[in-house]
Structure 1
Amino acid sequence: MSDTDRLVNKNIQGHDLSIHQNTCCRQSIWMIVTIILCTCLLEGYAVHYSAPVIPKLMEKDYSAQVQMSQSAIYLYSAIIFLGMAIGTIIASFFLDQIGRRTTMILSCVPHLFGWLFMVYGTNPSWLIGGRFMVGTAVGTTTTAATIYMLEVSPETSRRPLLHTLAVATMLGGAVCGGLSLVLHWRYLALIGASCSLINAIGISLQPQSPKWLILKGQPQIAAKALRQLHGQDVDVEIEIRKIEQEIEESERITWRRLRLQSLLRPFLALIAIISFVPLMGASILLLYSPLIYIKAGFDFSLKINLGICFARVLGALLAIPLINNFKRRIILIISGIGMCVGSFIFGLYFQTAASHMNIPGYQIDWLSVAGGALYSISVTFGWASVSWVLLPEILPKSLLRNLIPYLTAYSYTLFFIMSYIYIYMVNSVGSNGSFWIFSSICLIVAFTVYFILPETKDKSIEEVIESFQPTKRIAKTSTKG
Structure 2
Amino acid sequence: MTGRGDDVEKINGKSEPLLGPEKGSDGDEVSWMVYVSTFIAVCGSYEFGCGVGYSAPTQFGIMEEIKLSYSEFAVFGSIVNIGAMLGAITSGKISDFVGRKGAMRVSSIIGTVGWLIIYLAKGAVPLDLGRFLTGYGCGTLSYVVPVFIAEIAPRKLRGALATLHQLFIVIGLAAMFVIGAVVNWRILALTGVIPCVVLFFGTWFIPESPRWLEMVGRHRDFEFALQKLRGPHADITREAEEIKEYLATLADIPKATPRDLVDKKNIRFVIVGVGLMVFQQCVGINGVIFYAQQIFVSAGASPNVGSILYSIEQVIITALCATLLIDRLGRRPLLLASATGMLVGCLLIGTSFILKAHGLALHLIPTLAMGGVLVYIGSFSMGMGAVPWVIMSEIFPINLKGIAGGLVTLVNWLSSWFVSFTFNLLMLWSPYGTFYVYGVVCVLAIIFIVKLVPETKGKTLEEIQDMVLTS
Distance (whole Å) between structure 2 residues aligned to residue 203 and residue 448 of structure 1:
37
* Structure 1 position 38 matched with structure 2 position 40: no
SS of equivalent residue, structure 2 residue 422: helix
Contact kept in structure 1, 2:165 and 2:386, CA below 8 Å: no
Distance (whole Å) between structure 1 residues aligned to residue 124 and residue 294 of structure 2:
19
Distance (whole Å) between structure 2 residues aligned to residue 455 and residue 433 of structure 1:
32
Distance (whole Å) between structure 1 residues aligned to residue 218 and residue 268 of structure 2:
39
Contact kept in structure 2, 1:26 and 1:229, CA below 8 Å: yes
* Structure 1 position 87 matched with structure 2 position 90: no
Distance (whole Å) between structure 1 residues aligned to residue 244 and residue 421 of structure 2:
44
Distance (whole Å) between structure 2 residues aligned to residue 34 and residue 227 of structure 1:
19
Contact kept in structure 2, 1:100 and 1:144, CA below 8 Å: yes
Structure 2 residues not aligned, in runs of 5+:
1-19, 23-29
Q: For residues 198-249 of structure 1, give each alpha carbon's deviation from its aligned partner in whole angstroms, at most 9, with x where no partner exists.
A: 3322223434444444455544455554555445445688776555434334
Distance (whole Å) between structure 1 residues aligned to residue 300 and residue 92 of structure 2:
45
SS of equivalent residue, structure 1 residue 99: helix
Which one is further off, 75-84 or 335-344?
75-84
Q: How does 1:122-137 map to 2 (within 5 A)?
A: 122-137=122-137
Pair 33,335 (structure 1): closer, same or farther in 2 beyond 3 Å: closer
Which one is further off, 455-464 or 240-249?
455-464
Which one is further off, 407-416 or 147-156?
147-156
Contact kept in structure 1, 2:339 and 2:443, CA below 8 Å: yes
SS of equivalent residue, structure 1 residue 182: coil
Which residue number in structure 2 is paired with residue 311 of structure 1? 313
Distance (whole Å) between structure 2 residues aligned to residue 444 and residue 148 of structure 1:
30
Q: How does 1:32-111 map to 2 (within 5 A)?
A: 32-54=37-59, 56=60, 61-62=63-64, 64-70=65-71, 72-111=72-111
SS of equivalent residue, structure 2 residue 132: helix
Letter in 1 for 2:344: V
Which residue number in structure 1 is paired with residue 115 of structure 2? 115
- TM-score, length of structure 2 as denominator length: 0.76
Pair 346,117 (structure 1): closer, same or farther in 2 beyond 3 Å: farther
Which residue number in structure 2 is paired with residue 182 of structure 1? 182
User: How big is the shift at 1:372?
Assistant: 1.1
Q: How does 1:195-214 map to 2 (within 5 A)?
A: 195-214=195-214
Letter in 2 for 1:45: C
Distance (whole Å) between structure 2 residues aligned to residue 394 and residue 222 of structure 1:
21
SS of equivalent residue, structure 2 residue 203: helix
Letter in 2 for 1:175: A
Contact kept in structure 2, 1:105 and 1:204, CA below 8 Å: no
Pair 296,195 (structure 1): closer, same or farther in 2 beyond 3 Å: farther
Percent identity, aligned pairs only? 23
Pair 131,444 (structure 1): closer, same or farther in 2 beyond 3 Å: same
Q: Which structure has the bigger radius of gyration? A: 1
Distance (whole Å) between structure 2 residues aligned to residue 399 and residue 422 of structure 1:
34
Distance (whole Å) between structure 1 residues aligned to residue 353 and residue 317 of structure 2:
25
User: How big is the shift at 1:180?
Assistant: 3.5
Distance (whole Å) between structure 1 residues aligned to residue 223 and residue 435 of structure 2:
55
Letter in 1 for 2:307: N
Which residue number in structure 2 is paired with residue 5 of structure 1? none
Which residue number in structure 1 is paired with residue 452 of structure 2? 453
Letter in 2 for 1:280: V
Pair 287,26 (structure 1): closer, same or farther in 2 beyond 3 Å: same
Distance (whole Å) between structure 1 residues aligned to residue 224 and residue 396 of structure 2:
33
Pair 398,298 (structure 1): closer, same or farther in 2 beyond 3 Å: same
Pair 159,322 (structure 1): closer, same or farther in 2 beyond 3 Å: closer
Distance (whole Å) between structure 2 residues aligned to residue 463 and residue 247 of structure 1:
16
Contact kept in structure 1, 2:207 and 2:225, CA below 8 Å: yes
SS of equivalent residue, structure 2 residue 66: coil
Q: For residues 261-292 of structure 1, give each alpha carbon's deviation from its aligned partner in whole angstroms, at most 9, with x where no partner exists.
A: 4x545643553343222221122233333454
* Structure 1 position 377 matched with structure 2 position 382: no
Letter in 1 for 2:172: G
Instruction: Quote the RMSD (CA, aligned, Å).
Output: 4.0
User: How big is the shift at 1:137?
Assistant: 0.6
Distance (whole Å) between structure 2 residues aligned to residue 131 and residue 379 of structure 1:
27
* Structure 1 position 149 matched with structure 2 position 154: no
User: How big is the shift at 1:429?
Assistant: 1.1
Distance (whole Å) between structure 1 residues aligned to residue 397 and residue 208 of structure 2:
26
Letter in 1 for 2:46: L
User: How big is the shift at 1:44?
Assistant: 2.3
Pair 344,189 (structure 1): closer, same or farther in 2 beyond 3 Å: farther
Which residue number in structure 2 is paired with residue 368 of structure 1? 369
User: How big is the shift at 1:363?
Assistant: 7.3
Which one is further off, 263-272 or 198-207?
263-272
